[in-house]
Amino acid sequence: MYRKALKSIAGSALFTLLLAQPALADDPKLDTGNTAWMLTSTALVLMMTVPGLFLFYGGLVRKKNVLATSMQSFAICCLVTVIWMIVGYSLAFKDGGGMNAYIGGLSSFFLKGMTSGSLSGTIPETVFMTFQMTFAIITPALIAGAFADRMKFSALLWFMGLWSVIVYSPICHWVWGGGFLGGLGVKDFAGGTVVHINAGIAALVCALVLGKRTGYGTENMAPHNLVLSLIGASLLWVGWFGFNAGSELAADGVAGMAMAVTQIATAAAGLAWMFYEWVKHGKPSVLGIISGAVAGLVAITPASGFVGPTGALIIGIAAGVICAWAATSLKPMLGYDDSLDAFGVHGVGGFVGAILTGVFISADFGGAGLPDGVSMGHQVWVQFLGTLATIIWSGLATFVILKVIDMTIGLRVSKEVEIEGLDINLHGETVP
């Protein structure tokens, strides 16, 4: 009798434990493999700005402005790190209550409550915060290419600080932090909208508000050292694997596919821009192929976790040709001076990638597949709405910030400083 009772109790206990297993399995736990990959990805993305972007941009300007241009990327890295820690991360990724569709809250002001044991999914929240910080750093740094050679350093610091809080954090929240664009179904795996369209539109507004460089169209403004730019582009290419594959936040098959399609699209775009230029001007240039590679990296960014190899190849070719046209034909046609083609590469490339994500996500093209009940046409329309919302807010807010700074401390250096060079006048240093 006692044996039967004990067996019954043991059986009930075993049954209860078995039922409890799924619940226990659902509890978030630290995954050391995912954490190791995200630590690596974070370092790779940081390398994209320091030293990747400052070498890429630094080589593209004239020698008298190379230190000032490189200084901009380095200073932005420092400035945005502090801003992200204080308020940016909280506004982008925390619950904003009744306004959550548009902006996050302040529950993580100064990273309040974050400890070494805090988790974001299967990785430490500290790692997730820092990974996202690297995105917040490179986005405003990209804008600097549009106003190279002519913005005051003090104005740059004010502009980048305000822009990071007023423009970047809200748009990041809209797409990735629980805001209305994510709820609408916008697909942006690693930042085609949040990073590249956002920065590209801001860059165009900056170029228009500041006006053309002194001597633009009459003086030789060719890059002073394309070897630096080639090294910078190479670092961007390598670092972009952290950017795209890291955005899966896990070391899994999706991250592997994101890495593969990133490589394919980048190579295709580099070749496409090179051949476009070769046919148009008779010679393939170093500047052309590295610009094309960056355009391919930009365009595959929103699509990287959603498309397959065939989609990546087509996106890369499209980005290479369209961005080459924007930089070499559209810019002269419209007459704006986007010094280093930040809009032509990032704004246009981001738009191409965002829209084509809606096409090549389809399983018919080897993609991850459209959401249940969603047609390709509808997804493309949703992608367009996401780009439109980003263009409107980034454009308007950037314009207002620039005008306020211009009315207070001024945006642009004097003509004399511009002619002599920013290096010696703004920083008291020159390169040999």
pLDDT tens-digit profile of 41-69? 999 999 999 999 999 999 999 999 999 99
CB 219 within 8 A of CB 365: no
3-state DSSP call for residue 375?
coil
Alpha-carbon torsion 185, 316, 326, 359, what sign? negative
Domains of the chain, earliest start first: 31-427 (1.10.3430.10)
pLDDT band at 13 (very low <50, low <70, confident <90, very high): very low
CB 279 within 8 A of CB 301: no
CB 297 within 8 A of CB 319: no
Burial grade of 354 (CB within 10 A; 0-12, 13-18, 19 or more): buried
Alpha-carbon gap, residue 179 to 174, rounded angstroms = 4
- For residue range 63-99, list pLDDT tens digits in order: 999 999 999 999 999 999 999 999 999 999 999 999 9
pLDDT band at 19 (very low <50, low <70, confident <90, very high): very low
Residue (of 40, 33, 31, 30) closest to 251 by Cα position:
33
Alpha-carbon gap, residue 313 to 329, rounded angstroms = 24
Give the residue carrying structure tokens 């460089």.
Answer: 213
Amino acid at position 165, single letter: V
Q: What is the per-residue pLDDT for 100?
A: 98
Alpha-carbon gap, residue 411 to 150, rounded angstroms = 8
3-state DSSP call for residue 151?
strand
Alpha-carbon gap, residue 421 to 25, rounded angstroms = 61
- The pLDDT of 391-395, averaged and rounded, is 98
3-state DSSP call for residue 291?
helix
pLDDT band at 26 (very low <50, low <70, confident <90, very high): low
Alpha-carbon torsion 76, 79, 81, 85, what sign? negative
How many residues make up the chain in this entry?
432
* Token pair belonging to 104: 């996050």
pLDDT at 290 over 80: yes
- Angle between helices 286-300 and 226-245 in degrees, nearest 10: 10
Alpha-carbon gap, residue 374 to 242, rounded angstroms = 30
* Token pair belonging to 217: 């169209």
- The pLDDT of 380-406, averaged and rounded, is 98
Q: Is the pTM of this model over 0.85?
A: yes
pLDDT at 1 over 80: no
- The pLDDT of 154-160, averaged and rounded, is 98
Alpha-carbon gap, residue 323 to 198, rounded angstroms = 16
Phi, psi of 167 (to 5 degrees): -110, -55
* Token pair belonging to 321: 């040709």
pLDDT band at 14 (very low <50, low <70, confident <90, very high): very low
Give the containing element (helix H, strand E) for 213: none
Give the residue carrying structure tokens 């593209």.
Answer: 60
Q: What are the residues facing 151 on neighbouring strands?
A: 412
pLDDT at 422 over 70: yes
Mean pLDDT of the chain: 94
Q: Quick count: other Cβ atoms within 10 Å of Cβ 369?
A: 12
Q: What is the per-residue pLDDT for 207?
A: 98
Give the residue carrying structure tokens 């980034």.
Answer: 394
Alpha-carbon gap, residue 277 to 191, rounded angstroms = 28
CB 265 within 8 A of CB 319: yes
pLDDT at 22 over 90: no
- The pLDDT of 137-150, averaged and rounded, is 98
CB 379 within 8 A of CB 358: yes
pLDDT at 299 over 60: yes
pLDDT band at 11 (very low <50, low <70, confident <90, very high): very low
Residue (of 151, 287, 138, 258) closest to 200 by Cα position:
138
CA distances (Å), origin 397, targets 90, 205, 390, 401: 20, 10, 11, 6
pLDDT at 335 over 70: yes
Alpha-carbon gap, residue 177 to 179, rounded angstroms = 6
- Angle between helices 169-176 and 125-143 in degrees, nearest 10: 130
Q: Quick count: other Cβ atoms within 10 Å of Cβ 30?
A: 12
Q: Quick count: other Cβ atoms within 10 Å of Cβ 7?
A: 10
- For residue range 165-176, list pLDDT tens digits in order: 999 999 999 999
